[in-house]
Amino acid sequence: MITRFLLSLALLLAGPAAQALTAEQARALALGETEARVAALAQQIATADAATAAFIQALADDAVKFKGDQLFLVREDKVTDPITGAPLALPEDAEDVVNNNLMRSELDNALAALQLASPDAKARATAVEALLKEPSPERLPIIERALARETDEAIRAQLQLAQAASLLSSEDAAQRLAAVKTLQSSRNPATQLLLNEQLRDEADPTVKLAIETALIDIKKALAWGERLGAIFTGISLGSILLLVALGLAITYGLMGVINMAHGELMMIGAYATWLVQGLFQKYLPAWFDAYLLAAIPVAFVTSALVGAALERSVIRFLYGRPLETLLATWGISLVLMQAVRSLFGAQNVSVENPSWMSGGLQLLPNLTLPWNRLFIVLFAVLVLAGMAWLIGRTRLGLFVRGVTQNRPIAACMGVNTARVDTYAFALGSGIAGLAGCALSQVGNVGPDLGQSYIVDAFMVVVLGGVGQLAGTVYAAMGLGVLTKLLEGWSGAVIAKIAVLVLIIIFIQKRPQGIFAMKGRSAES
């Protein structure tokens, strides 16, 4: 029966004239015994029109109800007649159309056949993708008919892979062997999975040897994708660490303040991003994709203002006393976390990616670079460039460097050192807010967000060399890539321990970090 049904599906691909769906045909598809419904589906699919296709999709989505002989299409709280589209009132005692596993399978087959006959190349490609995920010899008639009429070379290649995948379950060993050779050329993770599954069940030694050879070839081909994926993930992690550590490079590296509340300033930037998202969702839904562009300056200013307030009220009295700054800022971090819990709750909140950051760039069959990660890498580069320009090329940067190198002489030259301290601390805090904005695009935002990165950030600053921007960049990228490479080899926990041990050994040999500070400040 299933074979006859699939052959009927294949007739659709030959191009018969479409016929409009009638009420009687709709009832035959939705009501009665499963075998009768399958037979009705086989009869209708060969001459299906748009209304029939929509009704089959509704059946697959469990969006059809009935009372007696009357059918109701229910979508988004709207009830309509599936034939005429006229609005209907849904009776309270209306029942759901129930599809068992067999019926669901046949509906999926029907939808795949409809998509394979679609004039839209994207819809056909999606249908072939679905066939590749669930290959079956019974779908061969559909695939062969699609191959006979397909003109797009890329889709034809995918159809040939789907045909070979379906032939893997053939009873003929010669067909299985030919299928293995075809699949060997695809070299993608889905093919590797199919061949691994077939290897467990394969009895023919010749076919088994061919599968093993194909798997070795595919594994070699995929190895570069895995290596490049690990490196990109490491660069992405390094970019996050760089964003987090850049603020510390000022507050700790240049000003000597051990700011344990730095992570909470990141958290404030992340929550500011979440609030901007909420405002756009409520008041500017048509401009939602632009919310992140508005959130970036808001996150910077919010965290900078909080940082300036902390510096003026607490930190300014503790310069030159690192232990006291550590204890004071640790207490401030606890206060900030509890304040966020009181205002927004203890649960994490979700920040959505704009549509232009969804998806990714596929370079290899097993290597896709997510757009949100690519954005973070680019964002880190821009923030680094902006910070280097601000410190090296502006009047504020000159004052910050002068106060850092020799505070008494800078004061004698007329520099308002207290104001410069506030500006510098606010700048470091604002950059922490930018880090929080970026982090909101790759994970949930919660009161404990900063605690996950503060230790790594201090390790980056110390490893790179206190007060050295170039060292911060090298340390962040090195730690990110090394961590991800070690994770692929030994697991996340062992990788974390190994990285920490390597940092301790490095600091023992080179206490001043990768780039040692030069000049009089290094000698004093």
Alpha carbon 481 to its chain centroid, in Å, reads 19
Retrieve residue 456's tokens. 């790594």
- Tell me which residue of 360, 370, 371, 368 sits closest to 189, measured CA to CA: 368
At residue 2, what is the residue type?
I
Give the separation between CA 35 and CA 55, rounded to whole angstroms: 18
Please, which pLDDT band fits residue 11 given cuts at 50, 70 and 90?
very low
Q: Please, what is the Cα angle at 158 between 156 and 162, to 5 degrees?
A: 110
Exposure of 301 in the CB half-sphere (CA atoms within 13 A): 6
Mean pLDDT of the chain: 83
DSSP type of residue 318: -
Residue 169, pLDDT > 80, answer no
DSSP one-letter string for 113-142: HHHHT-S-HHHHHHHHHHHHHS--GGGHHH
Q: pLDDT value at position 156?
A: 83
| 69-97 residue pLDDT tens | 888 888 887 888 888 888 888 888 888 88
Residue 522, pLDDT > 50, answer no
Question: Residue for token digits 């003026």?
Answer: 312
Residues facing 367 on adjacent strands: 364
145: alpha, beta or left? (left if phi > 0; alpha if psi -120 to 50): alpha
DSSP type of residue 349: B
Residue 293, pLDDT > 90, answer yes
Residue 6, pLDDT > 60, answer no
Residue 433, pLDDT > 80, answer yes
Residues facing 368 on adjacent strands: 362
Domains of the chain: 2-196 (no CATH), 225-346+368-517 (1.10.3470)
At residue 395, what is the residue type?
R
Question: Residue for token digits 């399958």?
Answer: 38
Burial letters 460-487, b for 16+ CB under 10 A, else e: bbbbbbbbbbebbbbbbbbbbbbbbbbb
Retrieve residue 382's tokens. 């821009």
Alpha carbon 76 to its chain centroid, in Å, reads 28
| Radius of gyration of the chain, Cα coordinates, nearest whole angstrom | 31
Q: List the single range of 20-24, 111-115, 243-247, 379-383 with lowest mean pLDDT.
A: 111-115
Q: pLDDT value at position 300?
A: 95
Residue 252, pLDDT > 80, answer no
